[in-house]
Amino acid sequence: MQTPAPNDAPEGSNEKLETLIQEALRSGVTAAAVVSTVDITVDPKLAGMCYEPRCEAYGQSMSCPPHVSGPDGFRKRLKRFRRAVFFKIDVPSELLFSSDRREVFQLLHEMAAGIEHQAAAMGFHDARAYAGGSCKQIFCHDKPGCRVVAGRGPCRHPQSARQSMSGFGIDVAGLVRRAGWRERLVTDADTPPSDRMTPVYGLVLVY
């Protein structure tokens, strides 16, 4: 099914977006907001951080540069969408910087994919989710390589693994401002280390 032209909001779309937000909150995300796609900006400088200094995940999966379409490809895709759901999960900082980090990002991918699946079930068949972190390091860390990059078949985790926002240069900080979330810094001196939280973010283009 083709994505409707930007001026053709599907019938009942506002109510469906509200349902998506409520379901996302019920599934455990800390906060979620509907954003207009005109408020999503991409910055090639942000995408460049995958290259310089080169991320250790660079080139390791189909979800990261140079195997993704980058800022230009994302801008083109954005033109086909009007609304998106931006969400965050607040994670204890100690967990994020521990050996459990992989599970945290796995949860982020699964939540993003879950919102995408629910949007599709509501009729938004072209919904597309983005998360953070390398799916190679998250889902295929114990495998020799990405099956898709190696040309040996489809993705091993199509239900959960999603592309990282980083490789497209998506301005996450700008989305945080748009959503009106006031994030506490991980270095907040007033908060005991054990109580410090760090947010991780996901984005789902809906229609």
Quick check: 172 and 201 in contact, CB under 8 A?
yes
The least distance separating ligand SF4 from the CB of residue 182, rounded to whole angstroms, comes to 33
**135 binds ligand SF4, rule: CB under 6 A:** yes
Name the one range near ligand SF4 by CB under 6 A: 12-20, 31-39, 78-86, 138-146.
Answer: 138-146
SS3 18: helix
The least distance separating ligand SF4 from the CB of residue 47, rounded to whole angstroms, comes to 18
Name the one range near ligand SF4 by CB under 6 A: 6-14, 40-48, 142-150, 197-205.
Answer: 142-150
Torsion of Cα atoms, 74 then 78 then 83 then 86, to 10°: 10
**155 binds ligand SF4, rule: CB under 6 A:** yes
**67 binds ligand SF4, rule: CB under 6 A:** no
Rank residues 115 and 135 by Cβ distance to ligand SF4 and give the closer one. 135
Number of Cβ within 10 Å of residue 99's Cβ equals: 7
**136 binds ligand SF4, rule: CB under 6 A:** yes
Given phi > 0 = left and psi -120 to 50 = alpha, else beta, which region is 114?
Answer: alpha
CA distance linking residue 13 with residue 17, whole number of Å = 6
Residue from 3, 32, 35, 61 touching ligand SF4 (CB under 6 A): that is 61
CA neighbor of 68 nearest in space, from 84, 81, 82, 55:
55
Contacting residues toward ligand SF4, per CB under 6 A: 61-63, 135-136, 139-140, 146-148, 155-157, 161
